[in-house]
Amino acid sequence: MGVEYNKVLISDLKYRWGSCTLKGTLNFNWRLIKAPMFVIDYVIVHELAHLMESNHTAQFWNIIEAQLPGSRKAKDWLKEHGAILEESF
């Protein structure tokens, strides 16, 4: 995507699948490991896109769609099935 980030952290995020700080730190919820790969790809691209556009503007969503055509499928998957990632096995 042509962006640079500072570091990547995998942690126990309580209310998010990922986040991006102003200093370029990408944070990801460890529970994503249980998601399908297309969903993991979406969350990564979503956070990288924040390094180009900090808010959820139309331009932000255009960046994601350009990188992952059909990304809506992953967004919908998280909305519908995200709760199962929170379950303990």
Instruction: Tell me the per-residue pLDDT of 26-42, one tens digit each, with 9 for 90 and over.
Output: 999 999 999 999 999 99
Instruction: Tell me the per-residue pLDDT of 55-88, one tens digit each, with 9 for 90 and over.
Output: 999 999 999 999 999 999 999 999 999 999 988 7
Look at residue 84 and give its three-state secondary structure: helix
pTM for the complete prediction?
Answer: 0.93
Question: Domains of the chain: which residue ranges?
Answer: 29-89
Give the pLDDT confidence score for residue 38 in this predicted structure: 97
Check residue 86 and report its DSSP letter: H
CA-to-CA distance for 75 and 6, rounded, in angstroms?
Answer: 25
Give the pLDDT confidence score for residue 15 in this predicted structure: 87
Give the pLDDT confidence score for residue 81 in this predicted structure: 94
Give the pLDDT confidence score for residue 89 in this predicted structure: 61
